[in-house]
Each structure stands twice: as structure tokens, then as C-alpha cells.
């Protein structure tokens, strides 16, 4: 596997564009298009929130019922959630408009929205945006970057990545982009993430790969514990790489899954580090746990703890909060048997062992915790299972952003 430049346009046959539609933001792009010249198998995972945004409902039925997909239209600024029948009608209208400009079937168009809940989309501006996107699309690396910037809301950096693998002597590319900064606590899937690949893979195995991959990638991040109404992760595979179609588990499937995991891990981790108001990526690695699920639960409990997140912001080695978060996770263990370490580029330090403070230097701990990427290592001494979760610190700016968001 090799990481290459680019994102959603890295794979053969994919084009993209971004444009200013003035939906909510002024003076910046807020609509994006991903398009494939060839029909794609599509797999998707969506929010488990009972309150599902209209685009989630639309995409779910496309993924389930359409023979193939060929385009995704995304807007930032308004989430098209809690918008009733009108919201659903607007999804259909978006698809119809995109289909006519792109000359593809309406049921090959996926849609995505992110932003404020409860407002209707301004359809005149959305439709004008779609027309501009269709005219502007191209297959360059830059076009993929443009699209990844156009779907940002409170994100401070765009998120994209691409990798290649070799299958049957053919180069297969997987690229992706995502957005997400607040209301992030994915369950089954996350915010908006779009992955494109020229791999030939059956719809069934594509969904299998995606559903497997999200468990240890997007589902292991949290910014604020709030599972969004709009979480959507789509993978489009157009088969143009020319490999023998993957139709069952085996070596080729494993290689594809590994590359997909790599892409999803990068996007998920970057989203966590770019959490609203965050000054640091806060990673927790639980190892030597008795079961994989317990490792996941423990790691996620630590990165979700408001008190721990605030301590990370203060560069304070307040390990009691970490032990406390492990303790209320629901997993049974003996606290005396756990060892804790802090680690970052500045070093690694044992903090807690045998039920007690390990006698570390506060000064050294503060130095380690002052880096932009901070890891807590938790050795459970119970087995051999590992899981990693990613979050961020809790800052004044998180409060500021979310006390003012709609104004």
C-alpha cells in the first residue's frame, strides 16, 4: 500500500468540483460535487439517530434500491434535518437537477447536507449551485481538494487522503474526503465522509468492507458525545482499475479492506484533532484487554470524558480522571492491575501503577501534554486485545463556537 497525493479524484474516472452557493456562509465555497464517469457500486453507513436528516433517508434508499450511483451533491450551512416532507422533496429536486445537468439517472444521485438543523434549503441557490458544479467538474487532484474544502462548516482544515494497492497486477486507488468538527460521536458511521475507488468490487463486498472498517475508525472518535442527525459515510466503486472483481472474502478483499481502513483511520483521526475549538488531538490506546469490545469501550470512555478533555487542555496530568472514566465505562477490571502512560513527541512517562501514582515528574508530564498530539496508553494486563480511540481537548472555544453557532 502506498499513500499518494489527492483525495476523491485520485481514483480513475472520478471528477469533483466546489462552488460558492451562498447557502449560509458568505465569501466561501459551500457546495461540492463528486462524479464518476462510470456507474459505481455504492455502500453506505448512516447515523443511528432516530432523528434522521432528509438526505440520510434519501441516500439510504439509493444505496438499498438503485442499481448503481454516479454522483454526490453536498452542501454546507444547512443540514436539511427536521424539515418534514418539504425536506424530502428538496432531496428529490436536487437529484433531478443534478441528473439533468450530468445526464445520468435521478436514482444515481446521492445528496448530503451539513449545518444548522430545522431550516429549509434555499432551493433557488442550491439549483444554481448544482448547475455551476456540473460545469466546473474535472478529474484533477486540485478539484478533489476544492470539493473537500467546500463541505467544511466549523472545520479548520480540509480532510482528504488517497492510497494505492496492487490487485492482479493492476493499480487500485482509494481516495476519500470528510468533514466534521462538532456534533461528532459517530455510531455506525459519522458526519460526512465520501470515499471513491476504482476497484472492481461487488456491492455486497463493498458494504461488508465499509461496515467492518467503520467499527475501528469513524466509530472510535468523539468530539462531544453528540451523535448527529446527518452522519453519512459513502463508498463509490466504479471498477475502472481493471482488477478481477472482488466477490468474496480472500486475499484481494483483505488488501482492499486494509487500504480502506488506512483511509478511514486517517480521516477519522484528522476529524478528531480538528474538533470544534480543539488545541490537541487526544488519542487513547487500550491494550492487553480481555476482549476487543471491552478495549473499544474503555478507550472511548476516556476520550469522551469532559473532565479528562479539560485536563488535556490545561496540560494537567490529572490521571485520576482517566482512571475514573475507565471505571464508569461499564467494563469490569481491577484498578490495581492497570498501568497508565502519557506519550507524545516529547516523550513517554509512566503515570500510574499498582493502584498508585507511579511517582512521575509533573514537569515532564506537562511537557509531554503540551504537544498538539497526546496519547494515553492503558495497559489492562488482562489479555491481548487492543483498541484506539481519538478525541480532542475541551476548550473555551468549544463553548464559544456552540453558544453562538446559529447567530
Which residues are at the interface with a copy of itself (CB under 8 A)?
47-52, 79, 81-84, 116-119, 182-183, 185, 187, 224-229, 304-307, 310-311, 313-314, 316, 318-321, 323-329, 331-333, 335-336, 352, 354-357, 394-396, 398-407
Catalytic site includes residue 339 = no
The secondary structure of 26-60, three-state, reads CCCCCEEEEEEEEEEEEEEEECCCCCCCHHHHHHH
DSSP 208: H
- Please say which residue, 17 or 349, places its beta carbon nearer to a copy of itself: 349
- Please say which residue, 204 or 396, places its beta carbon nearer to a copy of itself: 396
The neighbour count for residue 117, using CB atoms within 10 Å, is: 17
Integer CA distances (angstroms), 229 to 161, 198, 220, 268, 369, in order: 25, 30, 18, 18, 33
- Taking the C-alpha atoms of 206, 140, 92 and 102 in order, what is their torsion angle to the nearest 10 degrees? -110
User: Measured from the CB of residue 277, what is the shortest distance to a copy of itself in angstroms?
Assistant: 9
Q: Across-strand partners of 42? A: 236
User: Measured from the CB of residue 197, what is the shortest distance to a copy of itself in angstroms?
Assistant: 30
User: Measured from the CB of residue 91, what is the shortest distance to a copy of itself in angstroms?
Assistant: 15
- Please say which residue, 172 or 338, places its beta carbon nearer to a copy of itself: 338
End-to-end CA distance of the chain: 45
User: Measured from the CB of residue 352, what is the shortest distance to a copy of itself in angstroms?
Assistant: 7
- Please say which residue, 164 or 284, places its beta carbon nearer to a copy of itself: 284
Integer CA distances (angstroms), 16 to 54, 64, 165, 190, 383, in order: 23, 24, 22, 21, 46
The secondary structure of 85-149, three-state, reads HHHHHHHHHHHHHHHHHHCCCHHHEEEEEEEECCCCCCHHHHHHHHHHHHHHCECCHHHHHHHHH
Contact 73, 100 (CB under 8 A): no
Rounded Cα–Cα distance for residues 268 and 270 (Å): 5
Q: Which entry of 146, 164, 173, 190 is annotated as an active-site residue? A: 190
- Please say which residue, 156 or 306, places its beta carbon nearer to a copy of itself: 306
- Please say which residue, 236 or 369, places its beta carbon nearer to a copy of itself: 369
User: Measured from the CB of residue 337, what is the shortest distance to a copy of itself in angstroms?
Assistant: 11
Contact 32, 18 (CB under 8 A): yes
Rounded Cα–Cα distance for residues 296 and 45 (Å): 19
User: Measured from the CB of residue 215, what is the shortest distance to a copy of itself in angstroms?
Assistant: 18
Residues classed as catalytic: 190
Amino acid at each position: 500500500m502506498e499513500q499518494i497525493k489527492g483525495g476523491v479524484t485520485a481514483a480513475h474516472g472520478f471528477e469533483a468540483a466546489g462552488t460558492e452557493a451562498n447557502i449560509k456562509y458568505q465569501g466561501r465555497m459551500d457546495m461540492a460535487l463528486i462524479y464518476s464517469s462510470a456507474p459505481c457500486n455504492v455502500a453506505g453507513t448512516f447515523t443511528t439517530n432516530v432523528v434522521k436528516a432528509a438526505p440520510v433517508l434519501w441516500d439510504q434508499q439509493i444505496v438499498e434500491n438503485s442499481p448503481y450511483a454516479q454522483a454526490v451533491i453536498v452542501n454546507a450551512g444547512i443540514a436539511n434535518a427536521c424539515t418534514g416532507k418539504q425536506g424530502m422533496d428538496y432531496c428529490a429536486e436536487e437529484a433531478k437537477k443534478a441528473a439533468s445537468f450530468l445526464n445520468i439517472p435521478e436514482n444515481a444521485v446521492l445528496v448530503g447536507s451539513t449545518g444548522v438543523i430545522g431550516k429549509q434549503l434555499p432551493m433557488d441557490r442550491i439549483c444554481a449551485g448544482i448547475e455551476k458544479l456540473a460545469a466546473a467538474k474535472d478529474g484533477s487532484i486540485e478539484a478533489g481538494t476544492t470539493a473537500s474544502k467546500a463541505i467544511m462548516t466549523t472545520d479548520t482544515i480540509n480532510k482528504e487522503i488517497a492510497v494505492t494497492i496492487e490487485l492482479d497486477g493492476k493499480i487500485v486507488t482509494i481516495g476519500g474526503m470528510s468533514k466534521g468538527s462538532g456534533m461528532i460521536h459517530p455510531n455506525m458511521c459519522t458526519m460526512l465522509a465520501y470515499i471513491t475507488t476504482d476497484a472492481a468490487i461487488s456491492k455486497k463486498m463493498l458494504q461488508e468492507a465499509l461496515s467492518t472498517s467503520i467499527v475501528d475508525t469513524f466509530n472510535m472518535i468523539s468530539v462531544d458525545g453528540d451523535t448527529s442527525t446527518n452522519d453519512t459515510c459513502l463508498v463509490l466503486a466504479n471498477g475502472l482499475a481493471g482488477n478481477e472483481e472482488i466477490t468474496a472474502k480472500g486475499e484481494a478483499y483483505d488488501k482492499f479492506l486494509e487500504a480502506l481502513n488506512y483511509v478511514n483511520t486517517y480521516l477519522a483521526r484528522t476529524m478528531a484533532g480538528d474538533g470544534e475549538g480543539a488545541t490537541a488531538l487526544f488519542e487513547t490506546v487500550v491494550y492487553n484487554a480481555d476482549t476487543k469490545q471491552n478495549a473499544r469501550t474503555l478507550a472511548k470512555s476516556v476520550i469522551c470524558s469532559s473532565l479528562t478533555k479539560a485536563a488535556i487542555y490545561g496540560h494537567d496530568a490529572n490521571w485520576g480522571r482517566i482512571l475514573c472514566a475507565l471505571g464508569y465505562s461499564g467494563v469490569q477490571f481491577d484498578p490495581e492491575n492497570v498501568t497508565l502512560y502519557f506519550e507524545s513527541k516529547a516523550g513517554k512517562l509512566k503515570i500510574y501503577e499498582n493502584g498508585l501514582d507511579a511517582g512521575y515528574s509533573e514537569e515532564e508530564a506537562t511537557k509531554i501534554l503540551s504537544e498538539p498530539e497526546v496519547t494515553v496508553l492503558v495497559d489492562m494486563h488482562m489479555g491481548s486485545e487492543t483498541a484506539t480511540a481519538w478525541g480532542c481537548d475541551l476548550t473555551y472555544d468549544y463553548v464559544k463556537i456552540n453558544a453562538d453557532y446559529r447567530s
